[in-house]
Structure 1
Amino acid sequence: MDISLIGVPIMYGCDRQGAQYGPKKLRQKAIIDIIRRHKENVYDLGNLFVPHIPEEDKYAHHEKIKYLKPVVDINTNLAHSVFSALTSKSFPFIIGGDHSIGLGSISGSSKFHNNLAVIWVDAHGDINTHETSPSGNSHGMPLAAALGVGEPSMTNLYFNGPKVKPDNVFIIGARDLDEGEIKLAKELKLNLYTMDNIRKVGLESVIKEVIEKIENSNVDGTHLSFDIDVMDKSLVPGTGTPVDKGFNLEEGKIVLKEFLNTGLIKSMDLVELNPNLDENDTTAKLCIDLVDWIFKQL
């Protein structure tokens, strides 16, 4: 299999220094060698260009969304990189950077596929808009924008209109949802599996249900977006918004294995490593362990 490795060194979506160094840290930890161990052809497309924007200009393009224009521009470039990789029959593996890049990944995948599904593995729903976000941080908005809800330059990124249908969105592991996100999830009838749900019915049961729903629809490609803060906060000190009561390492690997083994996954994000917050490279090492596991399954 051909792998297109795309780094997106951005922190504008989370407005917290350090997330932009995630791709560099993973390369220092030999991510390319790790992937090649599994006999994959890796095309390292490098890092997308991220312009320097002074902090005092964060609201220059929107009164409620920080760094809107650079976030939109960078995600548009990412969308085209993902679309180009898929067109070349390569598997786009996108490393962040904050989770605002999920919008670009989904947009590129959506342009390539006729009917995309998205599996969003995250402690957060990321379905806020400028009207519901308590922070104005766009890393909490990409999935809403992909659904066609929110600020027009985000919802119409790369091409006009929604990128994914509500029926085809599966949020797994959420346990820190804002009021507006809960309301939107109900309105759109999203497939939302909170950590409370998962603990109640069992992880394997949830995964099985998601796979069955995707396989029984006319989906022709699935994008998997994995935010490391879905893991319990004790495991990931090096991430911007850690939350307790998350997955342990074994559960995280079960999620990845079960979805990747289906052959449904055609593109993937790994996001929100912040080396500035890490303790003795604990989180970076966990990410590399997960990357090794991911490509063992593909």
Structure 2
Amino acid sequence: MNINIIGVPLFYGCDKQGPQYAPDKLRENNLIDILQKHNHKVFDLGNIHVPSADSDSKFLYHRNMKYVNSIVTVNTNLAHLVNISINNNDFPLIIGGDHSLSIGSIAGVSKAFKNIAVIWLDAHADINTHETSPSGNVHGMPLGASMGIGHEDLTNLYYKETKVRPENVFILGARDIDSGEIDLIKEKNINVYSPEKMRKIGIENLVDFILDKLKESDVDAIHLSFDMDFIDSSYVPGTGTPVNNGFNVDETKLLLRKLAQTGMIKSMDFVELNTLLDENDKTLNLAIEILDSVFECIK
């Protein structure tokens, strides 16, 4: 398979320095060689340009969305590059950076397919809006925006349509959900599975169930979005918003490999690795280990 690496050195969505260094850190730690050893042809498309922004003006464009103008610019460019990648029958691997980049990656994927699904592996639901967000951090809004929920600057990014239908969204591993998000989950009947619920069902059984539902909905592609805080906080010091009671490394690999083996994953985000918070490269090395495991199964 042809894999296009697209780096997005963005931290504006989380408003915390560190994740912008992850794309280059992963490259420096042999990401390309690791992907190539699984018989993939790898094209490194470099990093999306992130315009500089003054922290004193983070609320300049909106009173409850930090750096939103810069985030929209980055994501619009990302969406177009992802769309070109898919239209060329390549697999875009988007490495962040914070999770706000998914607004662009999902927009680019959705424009290339008729009916996509998004599987969101994250300790958080990331379906806040400018009205519900307690922090104003846009990395808590990308999945909501992709479902057409939130501010029009985000929901209309790249093109003015809903990018993914709520019934085709599966949030796995969520265990730190804001009150406004809980209301939205109930209102839209969004599929959300906590680690406890996932273990009760069984990881492999859950993937089979999700696939059956997506086949019923005639989904033609799955976008996989992986946040490092999906993993239990004891394993990942190098992420900005770690949460306990998550999955261990073996469980995480099992889930990702099971998803990869479906053949329906056509694009992937890998986000929220914060190398400034890491301890002796523990999280960085784990990130490489996980990507190695996933792309052994991607065909």
Q: Same fold (TM over 0.5)?
A: yes
For residues 205-260 of structure 1, give each alpha carbon's deviation from its aligned partner in whole angstroms, at most 9, with x where no partner exists.
32221121112221111100000100000111000000001110111111111111
Instruction: Give secondary structure in 2 for the equivalent of 1:270.
Output: strand
Residue number in structure 2 paired with 1:134: 134
Do 1:175 and 1:196's aligned partners in 2 also have CA atoms closer than 8 Å? no
Q: Tell me the distance in 2 between the aligned counterparts of 1:200 and 1:39.
A: 36
Instruction: Give secondary structure in 1 for the equivalent of 2:200.
Output: helix
Residue number in structure 2 paired with 1:162: 162
Residue number in structure 1 paired with 2:60: 60
Residue number in structure 2 paired with 1:149: 149
Do 1:86 and 1:92's aligned partners in 2 also have CA atoms closer than 8 Å? yes
Residue number in structure 1 paired with 2:197: 197
Q: Tell me the distance in 2 between the aligned counterparts of 1:211 and 1:111.
A: 22
One-letter code aligned to 1:220: D
One-letter code aligned to 2:261: N
Do 1:5 and 1:44's aligned partners in 2 also have CA atoms closer than 8 Å? yes
Residue number in structure 1 paired with 2:250: 250
Residue number in structure 2 paired with 1:125: 125
Deviation at 1:160, TM superposition (A): 0.3
State the identity as a percent: 53
1:166-185 pair list within 5 angstroms: 166-185=166-185
Do 1:7 and 1:94's aligned partners in 2 also have CA atoms closer than 8 Å? yes
Unaligned runs of 5+ in 2: none
Residue number in structure 1 paired with 2:297: 297
Q: Tell me the distance in 2 between the aligned counterparts of 1:51 and 1:87.
A: 27
What's the TM-score, normalizing by structure 2?
Answer: 0.98
Residue number in structure 1 paired with 2:42: 42
Q: Tell me the distance in 1 between the aligned counterparts of 2:77 and 2:284.
A: 26
Instruction: Give secondary structure in 1 for the equivalent of 2:280.
Output: coil
Do 1:193 and 1:206's aligned partners in 2 also have CA atoms closer than 8 Å? no
Unaligned runs of 5+ in 1: none
Q: Tell me the distance in 2 between the aligned counterparts of 1:180 and 1:256.
A: 29
Where does structure 1 differ by over 4 angstroms across 4 or more consecutive aligned residues? none
Residue number in structure 1 paired with 2:72: 72
Q: Tell me the distance in 2 between the aligned counterparts of 1:162 and 1:29.
A: 37
Residue number in structure 2 paired with 1:29: 29
Do 1:83 and 1:112's aligned partners in 2 also have CA atoms closer than 8 Å? yes
Q: Which stretch shifts more, 103-112 or 192-201?
A: 192-201
Q: Tell me the distance in 2 between the aligned counterparts of 1:45 and 1:127.
A: 29
Instruction: Give secondary structure in 1 for the equivalent of 2:50.
Output: coil
Deviation at 1:28, TM superposition (A): 1.0
Q: Tell me the distance in 2 between the aligned counterparts of 1:202 and 1:230.
A: 17
For residues 104-137 of structure 1, give each alpha carbon's deviation from its aligned partner in whole angstroms, at most 9, with x where no partner exists.
1100000000001000010000000011111000
Deviation at 1:35, TM superposition (A): 0.5
Residue number in structure 2 paired with 1:93: 93
Matched length: 298
Q: Tell me the distance in 1 between the aligned counterparts of 2:293 and 2:4.
A: 17
Q: Tell me the distance in 2 between the aligned counterparts of 1:236 and 1:111.
A: 34
One-letter code aligned to 1:116: I
Mapped pair 1:284 → 2:296:
no
Q: Tell me the distance in 1 between the aligned counterparts of 2:200 and 2:90.
A: 38
What's the TM-score, normalizing by structure 1?
Answer: 0.99
One-letter code aligned to 1:207: V
> Could you say what the CA RMSD is over the residues aligned between the two structures, in angstroms?
0.8
Q: Tell me the distance in 2 between the aligned counterparts of 1:141 and 1:159.
A: 18
Q: Tell me the distance in 2 between the aligned counterparts of 1:94 and 1:294.
A: 14
